[in-house]
Amino acid sequence: MHLLQVQNLRTTFRIDAGQVQAVRGISFYVKKGESLGIVGESGSGKSVSMLSIMKLLPQNAELQADHVQFNGQDLNQIDQKEMRKMLGSEIGMIFQDPMSSLNPLLTIGDQIVEPIRIHQKISKEAARKKAIDILRIVEIPSPEKRLKQYPHEFSGGMRQRVMIAIAISCNPKLLIADEPTTALDVTIQAQILDLMHDLKNKMQTSIVMITHDLGVIANMCNRVLVMYGGTIVEEGTIREIFYQPKHPYTWGLIKSIPTVSTGKREKLIPIPGSPPDLIAPPKGCPFTARCEYAMKICEKIPPQQITLSETHRAACWLMHPKASGVAKEVTV
């Protein structure tokens, strides 16, 4: 069963230079209890898509969607006040930089206790006891002592554990993690990912992992959305994306992953060119300018999603059975 269902989500930002079409008509779902990865370059629309669903956008943003349903509730029909009640209680979020996300003037205890009291309507003492239990769950030692300390007294990894503690404090059904390991060293990254994996299994929480790191996706997720230029260019299971990728952009991402080979030096293969300008996005496929397999049709008509299996879809004219015929019709 789908916990989150999104149809034709579009997010535009009004700036002096024009309108930035950050998310351009994406559709996806998240099942109950699964981990969904969203991968792509910076500016591809990964974070904006999830912030749009939570309505955490600045005033210059315009949001449109045919359908956004979470746990049976239509999010298009609720106001900001109702959305704030849902955030924290049913949807939790872990941000990329825990130092800037935590309030340096408040103790860790205050920052965990407050959302518990707001959403669960319990006494301060009961909320404090629950906060101590949550710190134990995220493996922070001496939680009674740590509760009284400030963010600057914690290491980067411990601050990220505190962010996870805040996010899960009210047992949310959906946990959104936006680049949760980017600012951490490799050892701490592994610990944080193991912790999130354990929490998912224990609490049956669905997770959306936003990252540019395919290694993180491979370790954490069941399915993957590959985003480029504000669109979803491919989606599938971990096996389908890593072993049977169909979109040229996905091929490029996988080729750019560094490998460890014994006694062999290999060059990294970057994707040439730059991402598209989303103030004036391409008429056709957003990857056309960087794609070595691009055809005339790619420049003029955006490709539709082609269903390759029950779980695997790709938006590429190379996959379209009538691509060659259509290409002749639009060739100038």
Domain stop point among 169, 200, 226: 169
Whether residues 135 and 156 fall in one domain: yes
In which band, very low, low, confident or very high, does the pLDDT at 284 lie, cut at 50, 70 and 90?
Answer: very high
- If one counts the domains in the chain, the total is 2
Domain stop point among 127, 149, 169: 169
Work out the average pLDDT over 291-304: 93
Whether residues 63 and 130 fall in one domain: no
Domain stop point among 146, 169, 192: 169
Query: 283-292 burial, b if ≥16 CB within 10 A, otherwise e?
Result: ebbbbbebbe
Query: What are phi and psi for residue 11, nearest 5 degrees?
Result: -130, 125
Q: What is the pLDDT of residues 167-221, one digit of tens each?
A: 888 889 999 999 887 777 888 888 888 888 888 888 889 999 999 888 889 888 9
Both tokens of 275, joined, read 């991402």
Write the CATH number for 63: 3.40.50.300
Provide the residue range defining the domain that includes 59.
Answer: 2-90+170-259+272-330
Q: Exposed, middle or buried by CB within 10 Å (0-12, 13-18, 19+), for 217?
A: buried
Whether residues 222 and 308 fall in one domain: yes
**In a domain? residue 266:** no
**In a domain? residue 264:** no
Q: Is the pLDDT of residue 269 over 90?
A: no
Q: 92 near 100, Cβ under 8 Å?
A: no
Contacts of 218 (CB under 8 A, 6+ apart): 238, 242
Q: Which of 307, 280, 279, 277 is nearest to 290 (CA)?
A: 277
pLDDT score recorded for residue 328: 42
Q: Is the pLDDT of residue 330 over 60?
A: no
Q: What is the pLDDT of residues 98-142, one digit of tens each?
A: 667 889 999 999 999 998 998 888 899 999 999 999 999 888 999
